[in-house]
Amino acid sequence: MQASARGGNGRPNPLGIPSAGGAAFARATGIGGGAVQSLATADAGSDAGADAAAEATSMFGTGPVTSVRSTVAANGYRQASVIATTNRGGPVPTVFQASNGQASALASAMPDPLEVVSILAGTGGRERVAQDFDVGGTSDILGVVALGAVLSFQGDGTAMSHSAAAAFAIDLAQLGSAQDLLIGLLEPNVRSGGFDSLRFQIFLEGLPTVDEMFYDIVTARTFFDGRTLDFGSILAPSSDGILDLDFILTMTSSRGGDGFAVDLIFGNSTVGAGVVPVPPAVVLFLSALGSLFATRRLAGKGRADQRSGV
């Protein structure tokens, strides 16, 4: 099942004559029991200012994740362009894809394990997060999200705000063995000066659980680069068996070209679950090898002592 929508209204006046503000909105909803993909894009333009918003929703008949919704909004001096996508088992979004539009919210529910392995591959932050998810094993990977905002046009220096959000509904009864709710922040992508201010929020059951404000790139990079957030038992926040989980990124900037994007993974897992244990046979081999080296060192020392007459 695929659903798509596109909205657009208004364009800058080619003669430079002031015109009414442009606005655009698009909504796409896909419903199905198998692979579902929804895409909504909106573009607006006007000499007097532009606003664009889009919403993409995918709803599923089976599986732990029953629905996922992405919403984006952007205001611009002359133009605004946004994109929202949702899917189940489809392509996993990346932080670089979320760095292309003025506001991008890309969400994948219950992604293919091979796709997950690919985004966790690498060193640094991704490697650290990978240690907490046993992909294809004991962990339930429930979603991958990429949120981003870019101020593509510089106007009169007025600050513009862009927002991107993703919301998931999770049927806890369909999980395997209940573990912890882990959210792994993978890697940030910064464009130009980044932002004037950046806000990142996580809501559990409609309640703000994480609410971080940033005013410089260094602090933001440190927070979003390879950090796993552990919220304890995944069953605890919900009173009705359905866990509502929301992510929101809001960027404000007054400089054209500024941008910031993040990607994250979340699921039912346990810290350290992805650490590959050393097989017992390897442990015995390394232990024997260490003993052999120690014996050789002692033997060598004894021969040296004999030569020196000690």
List CB contacts of 25: < 8 A, sequence separation 6 or more: 7, 42, 52, 53, 54
Q: Any residues with CB less than 8 A from the CB of 12 and at least 6 apart, and which?
A: 19, 45, 46, 47, 78, 79
pLDDT band at 5 (very low <50, low <70, confident <90, very high): low
Q: For residue 185, which of 231, 134, 146, 234 has the smallest C-alpha distance?
A: 146
CA dihedral defined by 269, 113, 33, 144, rounded to 10 degrees? Answer: 60
Residue 283: the pLDDT is 41
pLDDT at residue number 14: 37
- What's the confidence (pLDDT) of residue 39? 87
Q: CA geometry: angle at 135 spanning 129 and 136, to 5°?
A: 180
The region of weakest confidence among 32-46, 189-203, 264-278 is 32-46
pLDDT given at position 49: 63
CA torsion, points 115, 248, 8, 108, in degrees to nearest 10? 20
Parallel/antiparallel/unpaired status of strands 242-253 and 65-76:
unpaired
For the full predicted model, state whether its pTM sits above 0.85.
no
pLDDT at 46: 59
Mean pLDDT in residue range 78-90: 81
| pLDDT of the residue at 282 | 40
Residues 11-27 have pLDDT tens digits of 443 333 333 456 788 88
Q: Which of 31-35, 84-88, 98-102, 193-197 has the lowest mean pLDDT?
A: 31-35
Domain ranges across the chain? 2-277, 279-310
Residue located via tokens 């054209």: 256
- pLDDT of 144-195, one tens digit each? 999 999 887 655 677 888 999 999 999 999 998 999 999 999 999 999 888 9
Write down the mean pLDDT value for the chain. Answer: 83
Read off the pLDDT band of 53 (50, 70, 90). confident
**Position 302 confidence tier, pLDDT thresholds 50, 70, 90:** low
Residue 272, helix vs strand vs coil: coil
> Is the confidence at residue 225, as pLDDT, over 60?
yes
